[in-house]
Structure formats: structure tokens, C-alpha cells
Amino acid sequence: MQLSKFLRKPFFENRNLYYKLNLIFGLFFLFPIIGFIFFSIKYNMLEDEHLPFFFLGVLIFSFIGFNIEPAHKLKIDQNKLQNCRSNILNLVNVL
């Protein structure tokens, strides 16, 4: 019963912009890692002696990239965002 109620609600309905950007950037760093693991298993690259250094580099740069993402640096005010949306809609209606 609770699962059906959960599935009826839109996933992003009550979420703010910071949550959405965190999710997007998190998936942006997750999918290349999954792809690399798939290809390393398929082409037998897991036996390479340099692989741990590559994973360490990927983890470090992913951590740095995730921490300097625009969601934390841009102080996006919801009112400004709403004004931008309304301005864009007005421009579209004029055209």
C-alpha cells in the first residue's frame, strides 16, 4: 500500500534545486565508473598493476568535482529562478 502511494507521487515534486543538482552531478560521476568497470571486466584489465592508481585518481577527481559543483557555489534564490522562468515564458509567448 505504501509503495503504491510512493509511486503515485512525482519523484521531484517536493525537492529543491540543490537536491536535483546533487543528484544530477552524482549520476554524472557514477555512470563513467560503471562503464569503466564493465570494460575492465570484459577486456580483462583488472590484472593490470596500474589499475589501483587509476581508481585512486578517479576517486580523487570525482571527489573534487563533486565538491566544487555549481550547486554549492551558485547561491540560487528561488525567487530569482522563478523570475527567470517567467521572463523566458514571456519571451516565448511574444515570439
Average pLDDT, rounded, for the chain: 74
Q: Is the pLDDT of residue 42 over 80?
A: yes
Give the confidence band of 47 by pLDDT, cuts at 50, 70, 90: confident
DSSP 21: H
Give the confidence band of 41 by pLDDT, cuts at 50, 70, 90: confident
Give me 15's grid cell. 525537492
Task: Show Cβ contacts of residue 50 under 8 Å, excluding neighbours closer than 6 positions.
Answer: none
As for how many domains the chain has, the answer is 1
Q: Is the pLDDT of residue 26 over 70?
A: yes
Which residues constitute the domain of residue 22?
2-94
Q: CA–CA separation, 80 vs 23, rounded Å?
A: 22
Q: CA–CA separation, 38 vs 22, rounded Å?
A: 25
